[in-house]
Structure 1
Amino acid sequence: MYLADEAWPDLETYFEEESLALVPLGSTEQHGPHLPEGTDHLIAEAFAREVADRTGYLCTPTVNIGVSPHHRQFWGTMWVDAPVFRDYVESLARNLTYHGIDRIVFVNAHGGNVQHLREVGRRLRDAGDAYAVEWMWDDAIPDLVDDLFEQNGPHGGPKETAMIQYLHEELVHEDRLDDAKEGGVPSVAATGNVRHGSRTFYDAIDNTDNGVLGDQTDATAEKGEQLFDAASDQLEQLCEWLANQEFEALLPKEHV
């Protein structure tokens, strides 16, 4: 069920009977010369709406702009400051708790959001208002990602390329895949910017002139479909597990 498509009287039964909501989040930022700036939020929304259709759980509208200042040197990248993002997402989540939701899955497709969504989840849990977890699609299927791609990225690499080829092929500049590979770098390790255990870079452009890593020419829509189906299965299982938990068991334990 997609919240924004429903009239309010038709949502009452859901909020009376169910306690779980899916909240898709991504970013609007550069993904190299070949992918749209909406790559992350397009992927997040696709997963959330797919699993909402499968399960009947509620899916909210997508948070399209995330914590992306590390891509700011590339044209069109948009971002909000981390404290603003955390407060916004927490406020959005509390909208849901007002209507009776007490467990939330943040369906996330942007690495820059991860730590901030974890912090929001902690705030909500510590307050006893909701149990919210962050879910990242490629973290759900790491073995498959590794099996499909020799150089999988992470950013703007073949896994994201394959996903957008499958979900929105019309947005992929297929004629730029070679340029993306040749103008980028194979991996973060290959940049030489991890020194003595420290990540000595802050921005994407410190690592790659065109904003991407990995071998984009290794991507296909067929691989994207494999990734999408496998990760959707994992998200569906997470939702069912979470919906079946006693809420009290999800809250912080008492002090020893």
Structure 2
Amino acid sequence: MYLADHTWEELGDYFERESLALVPVGSTEQHGPHLPEATDHLIAEAYAREAAERTGYLCTPTVNVGVSPHHRQFHGTMWVDAPVFRDYMTSLARNLTYHGVDRIVFVNAHGGNVQHLREVGRRLHDADEAYAIEWMWDESIPDLVSEAFERNGPHGGPKETAMIQHLHPDLVREEKLADARDGGWPDFDEEVAKVRKHGSRTFYDSVENSPNGVFGDQTDATAETGERLFEAATEQLVALCEWLAARDSADLAPREHV
């Protein structure tokens, strides 16, 4: 169920029955010449709402702006500083605990948010306020994603392109797929090895490596592949929610000092 569609009385009935919430989290940032800046938060919301529909668990409104300063050189990219994001997400989670939620799944679709959502989860866990975990769609089905594309990439590549082709085909600039590939880093794994020096990552921003900000071969993506990946990852998210809901509260609490 989607929180914003319901009245406070209807939501009260939910909180009497359940204590789990899905919080979709994405970004608003450049995704090359072929995908919209909404890419990440559209994907996060689609997964969270689909899982909520299948399970009956609560889905909150989407957090659309995340930690994206590494894309700042490209027009329109929005971001908040990492400490602000962590504080905001912590406060948002505590809002949910006030209503009785003690299990939260951050349904995340932006790599730049991962470490910060993990930190938010640790804050809440250490304080014994909630058990909050970060879930990233492609990390739930790594083998399937790897097999689906010959030249994958972590940002604006074929996996995200296929996902938007499936979810919002009208937002994909199909005529720009070859430009995205040729103007970026089509062979990500080979190229990233060249910019790591003596074990150190020597770059901070996407533009330092990719002139158009994307990685991978976008021409390898199709809506059909996107649908297959979406279904597989949704199954993983549903299973995660059911696993988390079934856990005993004592198992989720922080351990005592030895």
Length-normalised TM-score, structure 1: 0.99
1:235 paired to 2:237: yes
Runs (5+) with no aligned partner, structure 1: none
Deviation at 1:189, TM superposition (A): 3.9
Could you say which residue in structure 1 is the equivalent of 2:247? 245
Deviation at 1:194, TM superposition (A): 1.3
Alpha-carbon deviations, 1:78-119, whole Å to 9, x = none?
000000000000000001000000000000000000000000
Deviation at 1:51, TM superposition (A): 0.3
CA contact (8 A) 1:43 1:164 kept: yes
Partner Cα separation in structure 2 for residue 50 and residue 29 of structure 1: 23
Partner Cα separation in structure 1 for residue 242 and residue 123 of structure 2: 23
Could you say which residue in structure 2 is the equivalent of 1:205? 207
4+ residue runs of structure 1 moved beyond 4 angstroms?
A: none
Partner Cα separation in structure 2 for residue 245 and residue 164 of structure 1: 34
Could you say which residue in structure 2 is the equivalent of 1:194? 196
1:215 paired to 2:214: no
CA contact (8 A) 1:158 1:219 kept: yes
Counterpart of 2:188 in 1: which secondary structure?
coil
Change (3 A) 1:168 1:38: same
CA contact (8 A) 1:21 1:58 kept: yes
Counterpart of 1:134 in 2: which secondary structure?
strand
Could you say which residue in structure 2 is the equivalent of 1:176? 176
Partner Cα separation in structure 2 for residue 95 and residue 202 of structure 1: 34
Partner Cα separation in structure 2 for residue 103 and residue 179 of structure 1: 43
CA contact (8 A) 1:178 1:216 kept: yes
Could you say which residue in structure 1 is the equivalent of 2:12? 12
Deviation at 1:188, TM superposition (A): 5.2
Counterpart of 1:28 in 2: which secondary structure?
coil
Alignment RMSD (CA, Å): 0.7
Partner Cα separation in structure 2 for residue 104 and residue 245 of structure 1: 13
Length-normalised TM-score, structure 2: 0.98
Partner Cα separation in structure 2 for residue 124 and residue 176 of structure 1: 43
CA contact (8 A) 1:188 1:207 kept: no
Partner Cα separation in structure 2 for residue 103 and residue 47 of structure 1: 18
Counterpart of 1:120 in 2: which secondary structure?
helix
Partner Cα separation in structure 2 for residue 84 and residue 170 of structure 1: 33
Partner Cα separation in structure 1 for residue 229 and residue 63 of structure 2: 22
Could you say which residue in structure 2 is the equivalent of 1:254? 256
Could you say which residue in structure 2 is the equivalent of 1:35? 35
Partner Cα separation in structure 2 for residue 46 and residue 80 of structure 1: 23
1:130 paired to 2:130: yes
CA contact (8 A) 1:19 1:100 kept: yes
CA contact (8 A) 1:162 1:221 kept: yes
1:139 paired to 2:139: yes
Deviation at 1:52, TM superposition (A): 0.2
Aligned identity (percent) is: 73
Counterpart of 1:104 in 2: which secondary structure?
strand
Partner Cα separation in structure 1 for residue 137 and residue 247 of structure 2: 22
Partner Cα separation in structure 1 for residue 144 and residue 189 of structure 2: 20
Alpha-carbon deviations, 1:212-240, whole Å to 9, x = none?
00000000000000110000000000000
Amino acid corresponding to residue 194 of structure 1 in structure 2: R
Could you say which residue in structure 2 is the equivalent of 1:54? 54
Partner Cα separation in structure 2 for residue 37 and residue 188 of structure 1: 24
